[in-house]
Amino acid sequence: MLTQEDYLNGQILLIDKPLKWSSFQAVNKLKYALINKMGLPKKFKIGHAGTLDPLASGLLLVCTGKFTKRISELQGQAKEYTGTFFIGATTPSYDLETEIDQTFPTEHIDEALIRETVKQFLGEIDQKPPVFSAIKKDGVRLYEHARAGVEVEIASRKTTIHEFEITRIALPEIDFRVVCSKGTYIRSLAYDFGKAMQSGSHLTALRRTKIGDYDVKNAVDVTYFEQSLGLDQASSE
């Protein structure tokens, strides 16, 4: 059973973030629970080590107290994702946040082409972040530019794909598993993958399964964590 002092000295909480929650919402919910159920001071430190989009689920590492100093170290670790590409159509956001804007032929796509295309994305690659992302350009987040209809030039970045495995092919859907470096956008990978096959693609499902040696199998959802704090309190009284 963790005490108030344990959280202040520092903990790494493995949280399984649900769909449609922002990472900020998840951290706020945990902070509120720790303040109200563990009596932690309102200004105690808490933060996450790597954002997950609202349309993605999975592992969110949340650091408390003195362990917030480890956030940048944890952010630098390799990450594993699983998910689904929808082949033959693109969206402006490269995922389901926006509606399909273009469709493309898929008749030429078969398993051999899919598996051959995977090889193009292994190792260090150049990748452009999606226009719907939180990166700042001229002091404004890209998604704010995009929603305002303002076109901006986005520079490509170096990123590394350590592993890229196709786990299911049921066109127009392809399931995958990817292990990648910090700063990789799986939405951009979906878009670029479709383009490399002379078609289009967007991301329809995404789950972060690992960060370094931390595994989502050992994570708990926010509600369970909150309830367990209540149980801890009850058993200690």
Measured N-to-C along each axis, helices 222-236 and 23-38 cross at an angle, to the nearest 10 degrees, of: 10
Q: Is 53 a catalytic residue?
A: yes
Nearest C-alpha neighbor of 78 from the set 179, 184, 217, 187: 179
Radius of gyration of the chain (CA): 20
Q: Which of 16, 53, 95, 192 is catalytic?
A: 53
Residues 6+ apart with CB under 8 A from 237: none
- Residue 186 CA to residue 176 CA, distance in Å, equals 11
Nearest C-alpha neighbor of 44 from the set 9, 87, 72, 80: 9
Nearest C-alpha neighbor of 80 from the set 174, 201, 164, 14: 164
| Residues involved in catalysis | 53
